[in-house]
Amino acid sequence: MKIAVVGATGLVGSKMLQVLDEQKVRIDELIVAASERSVGKEITFQSKTHKVVSVDDAIAARPDIAIFSAGASASRQYAPRFAETGTFVVDNSSAWRMDKDVPLVVPEINADTITNDTHIIANPNCSTIQMVMALAPIHKAFGIKRLVVATYQSVSGSGLKGINQLNDEENAGRDVARYVSTTTMKPAYPHQIYRNVLPHAGDFTDNGYTTEEEKLVNETRKILRDPSIAITATAARVPVTGGHSEAVNVETLRPFEIEEVRQLLEATPGVVVQDDPLQNLYPMAITAYDKDEVFVGRLRRDHSVENGMNLWVVSDNIRKGAATNAVQIAKYLINTMNFGPSTSSGTSTF
């Protein structure tokens, strides 16, 4: 089993390597690739040192699976070239998500959309993954008519640049305003993020919504295989290092009891219900950080509509929102495609 990680030196790429190790994926040959400026650097994986190679060299090595976290432009350029050699590409960028011929996969929900012919597989956006993990069982049982979503997205969603801006501003303390006005570093955000909330995650489009908000709409419909769901979203950036939080208002087609929904969520693999508000138990970014599960709480009926409910959904955006989901897809490929003898172990479903 030959696996390549493309973008291995980045924030998500590094986490992918960590999760590959944690998930006990057997790798007979690991190829770590990145941009030309990183070629020659050394990465340690399972006590072995690997030199970073160019993406062209990784293609020439003909890996069985290439897990991408190198940005949309690189994915558009290189993913088809890997696929032409027979490699299965699991791409973490936005490049292929809405392509009608590319499955957009959260393995617990729609792994069946992967076939022997789908050599490019898209990893959804981080905020979408955690939301659909909570919504899929609800949609299956009751049908979803409408969603109103507000996200509170951590700075790690902007990569190291977002983390660095928050840390630099926090270190500036009382002088943060002067730091923001005088720094020569190009910031991740157009305003101070320290002690602030920006109603601005992603890039604004002509319709007034951001790209992050549009991903929540389009990707959710594709993953749940229902273009009729009405969805509106507002995405905000908050001064949290890791972990996205979401307030999700759901209107269903069929009536439900809250206890039914609770039981559905408790029985869903990968979902943890934390919902005892009288004991101050509810999901938080700080407790979801560095965990693979999606945490759901503040479950309650919305009395303003006939079949409405509210959920609070939290997950680590770098793990389940990116690296873990991609590795789960890779494990699904290993377990179902004709790569020869079984090459994964451990207790994970995927």
Could you say which of 50, 119, 126, 139 is catalytic?
A: 126
In DSSP terms, which residues pair with 89 in a beta bridge? 66, 120
pLDDT tens string 212-256:
999 999 999 999 999 999 999 999 999 999 999 999 999 999 999
Q: Which residues contact 99 (CB under 8 A, 6 or more apart)?
A: 120, 122
Q: For 8-27, what is the mean pLDDT?
A: 95
Classify residue 112 by its DSSP letter. Answer: G
Residue 346: band (very low, low, confident or very high) from pLDDT cuts 50, 70, 90: very low
> Is the predicted pLDDT of residue 170 greater than 60, yes or no?
yes
| Contact yes or no for 44/65 (Cβ under 8 A) | no
Which sequence spans correspond to the domains of the chain?
Answer: 2-95+321-336, 128-317
Q: For 136-163, what is the mean pLDDT?
A: 97
pLDDT of residue 259: 97
User: What are the C-alpha distances in Å from 68 to residues 9, 15, 32, 61, 327?
Assistant: 11, 12, 10, 15, 11
Phi, psi for residue 124 in degrees, rounded to 5? -65, 170
> Is the predicted pLDDT of residue 341 greater than 70, yes or no?
no
CB atoms within 10 A of CB 14: 18
Q: For 28-41, what is the mean pLDDT?
A: 94
> Is the predicted pLDDT of residue 319 greater than 90, yes or no?
yes
> Is the predicted pLDDT of residue 342 greater than 80, yes or no?
no
Task: Compute the distance between CA of residue 156 and CA of residue 164 in angstroms, rounded to an integer.
Answer: 9
Task: Compute the distance between CA of residue 64 and CA of residue 83 in angstroms, rounded to an integer.
Answer: 10
Task: Compute the distance between CA of residue 95 and CA of residue 72 in angstroms, rounded to an integer.
Answer: 5
> Is the predicted pLDDT of residue 350 greater than 70, yes or no?
no
Residue 340: band (very low, low, confident or very high) from pLDDT cuts 50, 70, 90: low
Cα torsion 181, 184, 189, 190: sign: positive
In the annotation, is 50 catalytic?
no
pLDDT of residue 347: 34
Name the CATH topology of 128-317: Dihydrodipicolinate Reductase; domain 2 (3.30.360)
Could you say which of 50, 119, 139, 244 is catalytic?
A: 244
pLDDT tens string 260-297:
999 999 999 999 999 999 999 999 999 999 999 999 99
> Is the predicted pLDDT of residue 9 greater than 60, yes or no?
yes
Q: For 132-137, what is the mean pLDDT?
A: 98
| Contact yes or no for 275/267 (Cβ under 8 A) | no
Mean residue pLDDT of the chain comes to: 94
pLDDT of residue 118: 94
- The radius of gyration of the chain's CA atoms, rounded to the nearest angstrom, is 20
Q: For 99-108, what is the mean pLDDT?
A: 97
Q: For 153-180, what is the mean pLDDT?
A: 91
| Tokens representing residue 181 in the block | 């006005």
In the annotation, is 303 catalytic?
no
pLDDT tens string 191-201:
999 999 999 99
Cα torsion 289, 291, 297, 302: sign: positive
Write the class of the CATH domain 2-95+321-336.
alpha beta
